[in-house]
Amino acid sequence: MPPLPEDFRKEILSFPGLDGEALLLALDKPPVVGVRLNPGKPTGLFADAEPVDGCPAGRILSDRPNFALMPQWHSGAFYVQEPSSMRHGSLLARAIEVSGAKEVRILDMCAAPGGKTTAMAAAMPEGSLLVANEFDSRRAWILNENVLKWGAPGVAVVSSPTDLITEAAPDAFDVVAVDSPCSGEGMMRREPEARRQWTPGLVEQCAALQRKILSDAFVTLRPGGVLIYSTCTFNRKENDENVAWAQEELGLELIGEPRRYMPHLDRGEGLFTALLRKPADLPGRPRRLKPSRRVKLPEGWLCGEWAGMATPDGALWGIAPQHLDFVASLTAKLNVLTPGVPVAVAKGRNLAPAPELALSQALNRDAFPLSELPLDQALAFLRKEALPLPAATPKGYVAVTYDNLPLGFANNLGSRANNLYPSQWRLRTRI
């Protein structure tokens, strides 16, 4: 680990009201290992681990296992996340309470790699919609994978500049989360690059970018809606001063006091959070959405009520009926990677289950035969190797499981079974 930058040390030691020496010492200690359990995919994992204060699903581990060799991680039963960042579920709950909404539309404006997105997806009310956006295309595909594996229904993944989102969806969201790109001071305990890249100029550059994103977030937020602002850094320019700027320049109202999580005081890394409300008396810009054509979904594959939407590549998606027209309007204007629950793909004149459907919490587990695998075969399946299934396994599409959690699909032909695990997710680690 490279040494802490000297200018950064001076900044911390001069920070008003902060025990700078204690913080600097904490940044040179080993980071905390945390996981957040998926309430939609219960297992007995980590039952004896230390709980995370403020996050009932969070656990702190005494050591770091090889998560890649745990099929439950691939199935979305838990997400590896440092404990401070797990609070976005409780932040969303508070934001919804303040906004007064029931079924909410949420925008996660800077969502990759997906930790805060999945935390909010687990906390949002049933019937809600969460749009997770990441501008960087490479990071967007990582976000997409994590969202699909987590499997929460009602999440769409988008990869577009924030100013395009303002054009596509002004005044459209009850809650907007801005976990803004930042100088990364709060990650200096675990990420060498955060130490190497830090300069006073980077802080200024990030603060300016954050104000641009906050301005775009303001446009997408409906009157009376709530903005969740967070950074993983310590300095006042990116935190307190930007919150003050949002109040003075945008007219947002601060709800309560901002919260700082500090490595020398909390079990986690550095995080700053604040809640701000858009005044309810501002004029809104209601839009009349064009009705979207519904397509028929395969009967019995999903639990609950879903409207079908087709995309040009022949894929079928399940969208909550009350959100179909809105999601369709986004797909017409933004780069949407995942509009909803992946249901089916065209195979000639027939339909095959989308490989990611197996991981969705909307899957009707009675729709396909299940084949439980032992650990070695589950890892082989995740490496996309040839798959031997028991002789009694029915022919056709089979959901492959480990620890009673679906990992993906196989097409059982009788003499052999085709492994349908997505190639781009293939496990490359061996025991």
pLDDT of residue 414: 85
Residues of the chain with pLDDT under 70: 431
pLDDT of residue 376: 95
Please tell me the distance from the alpha carbon of residue 36 to that of residue 77, in angstroms, as a whole number: 9
pLDDT of residue 192: 96
Protein fold of 370-431? Nuclear Transport Factor 2; Chain: A, (3.10.450)
Peptide bond into 342 cis (omega under 30): no
pLDDT of residue 288: 82
pLDDT of residue 16: 92
Query: Domain coordinates of the chain in residue numbers?
Result: 67-277, 289-367, 370-431
Superfamily of domain covering 67-277 = Vaccinia Virus protein VP39 (3.40.50.150)
Contact 211/178 with Cβ under 8 angstroms? no
